[in-house]
Amino acid sequence: MIAGKAAISRPRVWRRLWRDECGVVAVAVAVLLPVLIGFAGLGVEVGMWFWIQRQNQSAADAAAISAALEYAEGAATNSTAAAAAAANYNLFSISPPNTLTVSLCYGPTNGPSCNPSSSNGAQPNAVQVVLTQPLNTTFANLVTAIWGPNINTVTITTKAIAAIWPSAACPTAADPVPADNGTPPSNCVSLAL
């Protein structure tokens, strides 16, 4: 009759345990803690993407200035190497899978990129640098896997365009701020973002 006795008392134990509210928060917290930590991790991870994007934007700007100076000196073929050096100095690694692309174009324009073809056959007057950096995800991967295709890579892309100003707009010792198109930078290469 041991089996029968157990069959009678077991539901009572469970019922009592179910009604007993002591320690229920501890259980709830234990269950929710991985979720809490997961979301905190997701927040940190997404924060890092934006931080890296910010750093890379600085690197892209410096690379564009360097490439434009190289181009302005008449060494267009070396402008990719010059851009890579400047990006490297600003903590952007140019080794794969990261990429750095330098292109000559006509600008600056107000659009998101400068025009790759000329309307009047003039020389390109701007240099565009595009940096990409793929990042492997951890928490974003876990969270997106809940509802469908998971995001295991996020690519941070930054772009900068440096335009070469006409020499008339260049400041000289005699004329430090030429009155031409607003305020030119202190040499003939300016940043247009």
Partner 1 sequence: MINILRRSLRALNDARDRGAVAIEFALLMAFLPLTVLIFGIVDYGEIMVQATNLSAIVRGAAEYARGQFIQNNGALPTANEIETVLNVPGGVLSISSFCTCANNTPVACPAAGAANSCPGGRIHTYVAVSGSQAYTPLVSGTWPFPPSVNARTVLRTQ
Contact residues toward partner 1 (CB under 8 A) are 21-26, 29, 33, 36-37, 40, 43-44, 47, 51, 54-55, 58, 62, 65-66, 69-70, 73, 75, 78, 81-82, 85-86, 89-91, 171, 176, 185-187
Beginning with the edge strand found earlier in the chain, give each strand of the sheet holding 126-136 in spatial order.
Answer: 99-105, 126-136, 153-164, 189-192
CB of 71 to partner 1, least distance (A): 12
Measured from the CB atom, is 27 or 122 closer to partner 1? 27
Residue by residue, DSSP assigns 98-146 as -EEEEEEEB---SSSS-BSS-SS-PPP-EEEEEEEEEEE-SHHHHHHHT
Q: Least distance (Å) from partner 1 to the CB of residue 86?
A: 6
Complex with partner 1: residue 7 or 32, whichever CB lies closer: 32
Shortest Cβ 168–partner 1 spacing (Å): 18
Q: What would the two tokens of residue 18 be?
A: 């179910």
Contact 132, 98 (CB under 8 A): yes
Residue pair 140/42 in contact by the 8 Å Cβ criterion: yes
Cα 12 to Cα 124: distance, rounded to the nearest angstrom = 86
Q: Which is nearer to partner 1, 70 or 159 (CB)?
A: 70
Q: How far is the CB of 75 from partner 1 (least distance, A)?
A: 7
Considering beta carbons, is residue 3 or 25 the nearer one to partner 1?
25
Return the number of the residue (82 or 126) whose C-beta is nearest partner 1: 82
Work out how close the CB of 120 gets to partner 1 at its nearest, in angstroms, rounded to a whole number.
30
Q: Smallest gap, in angstroms, from Cβ of residue 180 to partner 1? A: 17
Single-letter amino acid, residue 104: L
> Toward partner 1, which CB reaches closer, 11 or 176?
176
Q: How far is CA 11 from CA 6, 7, 15, in A?
A: 9, 7, 6
For residue 121, how many C-alpha atoms fall within 13 Å in the half-sphere facing its CB?
A: 0
